[in-house]
Structure formats: structure tokens, C-alpha cells
Amino acid sequence: MKIELIDNKVLFNNGFSSQEIHPFWLRERVSNDKYFDANTQQRKFDPTFLKTDVEIKSAKINSDFLEINFNDGVNFRLEINKIIQEFSKDDLLIQSIKKSKWNSSFGNIDKFNYSDDIFESKKMYDLLINFYKFGFVIFKDVPTKNNFITNFANSIGSIRRTNFGEFFNVKSVPNPNDLAYTSLPLAPHTDNPYRNPVPCIQLLHCITNEVSGGFSTLVDGYTVTEDLKNKFKEYYDILTKVKVKFKFIDKDVILEGWSELIKLDENKEFKQVKFSPRLDFVPILEKKELDLYYKARNKLSEMYNSDKYKLEFKLMPGDLLMMDNYRLLHGRTEFDTNEGSRFLQGAYIDFDSTEGKLRHLKRKFNF
């Protein structure tokens, strides 16, 4: 990949073909002191106020720099590497991490040691890569005092507060507003499908666990989606098409959100699953279409609940599970409150937290 000049035109050559770079694209990147704040890396000018028909009066390549005089009197030098970087899409860091499909044969579930300096370490970079590969990562020996989960969340990025509070306590209580706060088993589900936007990542921190049951469960919604697509295409098609209403009601708020159970991105690739069959309302459709929809939803539920896909493990005091709420479903097995206490704290962060931290660590360690 290189930059070439022909008759005051700047061309980007990717090794196979050349394309002209629009002069205004270059003009927007003027980074002289007068036009650009090096500290914040933000423009001091608003390019939408400029005429876009700017022309290049002269251009030359001087070792690693491209030097341009524009016809509006502005001259500048730009590092050629920086231009190439934008074309190479190297900054699509997250998209470049390939998701690994997994099921119940996942094998050993590693728990990674927490230390106070972990958030700025190379280890954190590796763990975040792991998180994007598998959709979860488990830390151990995370301090359990003083709602430490909020420190943890805010050390990766910023906590995402909801009407459940900055964080929430998962233990059985009388008159709960959600089944999470009982000792009943919880089938695999995603959290808060009724919010807009849905919280991206859930942190679940085990404070005490004295019961013999109460195992945590995880299912990879990505693996199930891919299997559904391969084996039951008709079901996959309708579940990626029909939007259902998710609803949460308590005395202070009514939250509603419409969404497909399997959400695809603009390239028709996996983006997100939502599954919470106690909270969803299917719209009225033609009977024939609903026939297919209900069959499809049952098949999906059968797969999510099948032992083939489910990981089951015990969170011990100090363990902190960080999971992608757009990709994984989580749940727990029943437990007996007479055996002792089971107390977990939960909180949410969004993808900008993990993505921002990952890019920062990549820059810091020059990876």
C-alpha cells in the first residue's frame, strides 16, 4: 500500500489498483497548529463551513510526508502512514477479533487473577480480546467489600446506571419486582431487552455463595444462531424478521422495546440476541405466519435450554463474571435458601467502555 502523485492528484495504491483521494478528504485532515488541536486531536475548524470544491495547487512526497498546497492558501504536511492506516481499516479493532463458537464442550473455564493494577496492564488487553472472542471472561479474587463492582466497572469504562440502580443485589427478597430476586431457577435469558439501548455488558460479582445449588449458566447465542441458520433456515428467517414487544412494568416505570429475537447487522451478520420469554409479546400476524413463528421460537428455546449448549459452573466469593449481554444468555440453577446465603452484585457497562479500553491499551503497549 502506498501513496502516489500524478498531475497534482493524490492516489492511494493498495497493491492491485489505484484510486484518487478526494482533495477535500485531505483538506479536512489539515493538522497545522492553526487548524488542529494536537492535545485533543480535534479540529479547530468546522469543515462543513468550507467549500468542498477545493483543489490541490501542488503536492509532493517528502520522505514519510505528503506536502500539499491547496488553492485556498492552506499548506500542510501529513504523515503518509496515517493516510494508509485509514485505508487499511486497522482501526476496526473489534471487528477484527473473530468470534469463537462454543458449546457445553467448552472445556476448562479459566478464572483470571485480579490485581489492583490489572486495568492498565497487558493482561487486561489479553482478557478483553478473550472477552470479544468468547463473549465472557471470569476474574477471581476481586475485592468483595464496599460494592467494589462499581469501582471495577468504572475502571474499565463507565457504569451504566438503570432504574435498578447503579448496581443491583441479586439475592432472594420478599415481594421481588423481578424473578432474579428469588431462589427459583432462571432459564437462559438476556437482560433488559425492554431498554433502549439494551445494556451491552453485564458484570456479576459473587460476594457469598454458601448453597450447594445456584450454579451459573451461560449459553452462546452466536453459536445457537449459526446452528439454527444451518439447520432450520425457515425458523432463522422468521426470527430475524418479526419484531416482538418486550415489556417491564413496576410502580415507577413502564419500559417497552420492539425487537427481533435475533438481530442482524447491515451485512446480515449476527449482531444481537434477545430472549426473555416471560416479558415478550408477539404481534398479531396472519395465523399461518404465527404458526411458523411459534414453532421457530420453541425450537430456539429448545436449543437455548439444551444441555448441548449450556455451560454450568459455580461462582465463588470474589469471582466476577463479565458477559456480553448482546451475545450470551445467562441463567442459574435453583438453590435452597435454608442452606445459607447466595449473594451476587450486578452492574452494567456498555461496549464503548470495553472498546475504548482496548484501543487505549493497544496504543499504550504499541500492539
Please report, as ranges, the residues that interact with Fe ion according to CB under 5 A.
Answer: 191
Which of 191, 324 has the CB closer to Fe ion?
A: 191
| Phi, psi for residue 56 in degrees, rounded to 5 | -90, 120
The one-letter amino acid at 278: R
Give least dist CB 315 to Fe ion, A: 13
- Residue 284 cell numbers, joined: 398479531
Q: How far is the CB of 301 from Fe ion (least distance, A)?
A: 16
Q: How far is the CB of 193 from Fe ion (least distance, A)?
A: 10
User: To the nearest whole angstrom, how small is the minimum distance from the Cβ of residue 266 to Fe ion?
Assistant: 28
Nearer to Fe ion, 141 or 280 (CB): 280
The half-sphere exposure of 118 on its side-chain side, counting CA atoms within 13 A, is 20
Alpha-carbon distance of 262 to 240, in angstroms, equals: 5
In the complex, minimum distance from the CB of residue 81 to Fe ion, in angstroms, rounded to a whole number? 45
Task: Tell me the three state secondary structure of residue 339.
Answer: helix
Specify the residue for cell string 488541536: 37
Torsional sign, CA 41, 47, 52, 55? negative
Nearer to Fe ion, 141 or 178 (CB): 178
β-bridge partners, 322: 137, 203
d(CA 262, CA 153): 27
Q: Exposure of 218 by Cβ count < 10 A (0-12 exposed, 13-18 middle, 19+ buried)? A: buried
Nearer Cβ to Fe ion, position 191 or 220?
Answer: 191
- Measured from the CB atom, is 236 or 304 closer to Fe ion? 304
CB of 214 to Fe ion, least distance (A): 14
Residue with the closest Cβ to Fe ion? 191
Beta sheet of 342-349, edge-to-edge order: 111-113, 136-140, 320-324, 201-209, 342-349, 168-170
When the beta carbons of 327 and 357 are compared against Fe ion, the nearer one is 327
Given the complex with Fe ion, which of 332 and 357 has the nearer CB atom? 332
Report in angstroms how near the CB of residue 192 gets to Fe ion at its nearest.
8
Encoded amino acid at 131, one letter? F
